[in-house]
Chain A
Amino acid sequence: MIIAIPAEEKSLDSVISVNFGRSPYFCIYDTEKQQSTFIDNEAAGRPGGAGVEAAQNLVNQKIDTLVAFRLGDHAAKVLSGAKIKVLKAVNLSIADNIAKVLSHSLEELNEVHPGGINKG
């Protein structure tokens, strides 16, 4: 299973980013290899469409599960279309959230907020 988590810094000790589309980095964790990599979120600086682009990039990374605090409806549509499960993050480190995914102690994230709020 491959897990993605929005990260404020490139470290497993980092806190989770509260934003999805404009999170600075994503932690990609491969549960079989027990390996984590951190990728830059190219969508972070976008005035609009950040959620769609970030979701597309995670689809391209072939992730199975996303852990996040909140999610816009556009991003949610892309992720659910790609059958990616979204779990509600807890306010702890990246490493703690990975451990909680593995112990099946995170709930699914069901509520989404309207996306595309920044339109010029």
Chain B
Amino acid sequence: MKIAVLSGKGGTGKTLVSVNLAAVADKGGYFDCDVEEPNGHLFLKPSLIGEEEVTSLKPVVDMDRCDGCKVCVTACVYKALAYIPGELMIFDEICHACGLCTYLCPQQALKETKRVIGTIRRGERGSLSVHTGKMRIGESTGVPIIKKLLKKLDDDLSIIDSPPGSGCLVLETIEHADYCLLVAEPTMFGAQNLALVHELTRVMNKPAGVLLNKVEDGLNPSELYAKEHDLKILASLPYDSYAALESSNAELLVERSEKYRTFFLELLKEVVDEATLAAQR
């Protein structure tokens, strides 16, 4: 059972929910796909088992062979190449490593070389395995890191901590998920981002439910959105400065408070039940 925890924006509580769910599950895997700033390991404090590099390919040109035909420049989908007399310019930050330029070059002037774009760390916390992807600063995309990170997904219970937003990284993250838990804030902006990420789950045909976080008295636009769009509300977490303080000290709520331990145990059961039901449909 693979549960992805996501939200349309940052700071809603994805990691808070993910690490506490993984901690009460106490087995299976926790996958931190927020490769631009992974922080789940700060809470779970796993012992490190291994580290590996993630590489991507980039084209390099041999100007002795290049005759300036510009086949590569025209073909490049991302426009990562430009040719000026005497020089083929390659913009690594724009390149998506598709390999088309190298494949098409009539002079075989291009070849692909490996370069490191990030790392993956694998660790353990008791029976829970902890997987963390980390992108190198300045890279344009963490997609290859997430792909490699999630190769270790198996049929055990897995909690997948998604990057914020609803772009390529999130799409890659939920590709293999059985169920998406959307964490939403009680603001207009929160509801708008909830709508975006909810739409993504529908496009990708993933069953989803919402956890309303930081709930206070008064209007909750995210709650209204969920009710209007037939999106099941699995649970609500009231705003709690105690929880905020514990989390800012990288403490696991489920280890510090019986109330939260009970809440996350129930949430885990609810999410697994929902995912199982969805799988049978």
Q: Which residues of chain A are near B81, meaning CB under 8 Å?
A: 52
If A56-B73, A78-B89 touch, whether A49 touches B84 (CB-CB below 8 Å) is: no
Q: Does A59 contact B (CB under 8 A)?
A: yes
- Interface SS of chain B: helix, strand, loop or mixed? loop
Complex interface residues of chain A between 30 and 84 (CB less than 8 A to chain B): 43, 46, 48-50, 52-53, 55-56, 59, 74, 77-78, 81-82
**CB pair A48 B79 closer than 8 Å:** yes
Output the least CB separation between A78 and chain B (Å).
4
- Chain B, 72-88, contact with A by CB distance < 8 Å: what is the 0/1 string? 01001011111111010
Cα A74 to Cα B85 with chains together (Å): 17
Within 8 Å of chain A (Cβ to Cβ): is B236? Answer: no
A120 contacts B167, C-beta separation under 8 Å:
yes
Q: Which residues of B183-236 are within 8 A (CB) of A?
A: none
Q: Kindly list 4 other residue pairs between chains A and B, CB separation below 8 angstroms, not including A55-B82, A78-B89.
A: A46-B79, A49-B78, A49-B79, A53-B79
Q: Once the chains bind, are A116 and B89 in contact (CB under 8 Å)?
A: no
Cβ of A104 within 8 Å of any chain B Cβ, yes or no, is: no
B83: A residues at CB distance < 8 A:
56, 59
Contacting pair B79 A78 (CB below 8 A)? no
B116 interface residue (CB < 8 Å to A): no
Residues of A within 8 A of B167 (CB): 120
For B76, the chain A residues whose CB sits under 8 A away are 49
Taking Cβ atoms with an 8 Å cutoff, the residues of B that contact A are 73, 76, 78-85, 87, 89, 91, 93-94, 140-141, 167-168
The answer to whether B82 touches A48 (Cβ under 8 A) is no
| Contact, CB under 8 Å: B84 / A50 | no
> Do B85 and A52 touch (CB < 8 A)?
no
- Cα(A82)–Cα(B82), bound, Å: 10
Q: Is the CB of B73 within 8 A of A49?
A: no
For window 69-118 of A, CB contacts with B under 8 Å fall at 74, 77-78, 81-82, 116
Q: How far is the CB of B205 from chain A (nearest CB, A)?
A: 21
Residues of chain B contacted by A120 (CB below 8 angstroms): 141, 167-168
Across the interface, do B84 and A74 meet the contact criterion of CB distance under 8 Å?
Answer: no
Alpha-carbon separation in the docked complex, A93 to B207 (Å): 54
CA distance A69 to B107 in the complex (A): 39
Does the CB pair B94–A74 fall under 8 Å? yes
Residues in B whose Cβ lies below 8 Å from that of A56: 73, 79, 82-83
The residue on B at minimum CB distance from A83 is: B84
Query: A52 contacts which chain B residues (CB < 8 A)?
Result: 79-82, 89, 91, 94
CB atoms of B89 and A77 under 8 A apart: yes
CB-CB under 8 A from B87, the residues of chain A are: 81
Pick from B73, B141, B167 the residue with the most CB of A within 10 Å: B73
| Cα-based distance from A109 to B143 in the complex (angstroms) | 36
Query: A77 to nearest B CB, angstroms?
Result: 7
Q: Which residues of A contact B73 (CB under 8 A)?
A: 56
Is the Cβ of B82 less than 8 Å from the Cβ of A116? no
Are B89 and A81 in touch, CB under 8 angstroms?
Answer: yes
Residue of B nearest to A54 (CB): B79
The residue from B84, B85, B140 contacting A116, defined by CB atoms under 8 A apart: B140
Are A59 and B82 neighbours in the complex by a CB distance under 8 Å? yes
- Shortest distance from the beta carbon of A12 to any chain B beta carbon, whole Å: 29
Q: Complex formed: what's the CA distance from A50 to B80 in Å?
A: 10
Chain A residue numbers with a CB within 8 Å of B89 are 52, 77-78, 81
CB distance from A43 to the nearest CB of B (A): 7
Partner of A49, one of B94, B141, B168: B94
